[in-house]
Structure 1
Amino acid sequence: NNHGLLCMVNPEIISRSGLAVMREGCMSVPDYTGDVERATEITVRFLDSRSGQQREVTASGFEAVAIQHEMDHLDGLLFLDRVISVSTGLFRRKQYR
């Protein structure tokens, strides 16, 4: 269930189901990862910038998590804002030299 490249304008999640905790990271915060709870399946409505058409896509698994993560950025949020517990769910990445 992978839709490939999606160029979304004004995306809006219109339904969500299931919950799972996954480890997330982000290039905006390269030194940390964290446990974040996200919906496992979403339906998102958006304007497709390539075709100019309104679309709805149902995504699940990693694709659903990635869409939610990127939509958070549009709202000014980072995964750090959604970490389940700063004391037990936030991890410093190992430094490789």
Structure 2
Amino acid sequence: MVPAGRRWSQKVTESSRALDLEPGVFALVDPREIALSLQRSAEASVNRKAGPFRSAMSMLNFYINRAGRNLPAERRACLEAAKGELRRLYGRTELHDAD
């Protein structure tokens, strides 16, 4: 059993006010569909503090980082591919493009 304070990242993912995520976005199997869902959520959000690209990428990175070593290699590869799809959707070819 995990102590109560150890599941904060799940709560953030489920109830973050930064982006209203579509249900099951991180369970999708197609990296492009994950990216498109994050794009829709980021562009529709009125609570985000950064631009839509940064907000979507931040949420994806947050999920990958919090899942950590519990994330199977195949799942991690899919989520990492979703980062590339997000970059393509926003016309970002460089890792350090500004918003």
TM-score (norm: length of structure 1): 0.29
Larger gyration radius, structure 1 or structure 2: 1
The structure in which a higher percent of residues are strand is 1
TM-score (norm: length of structure 2): 0.29
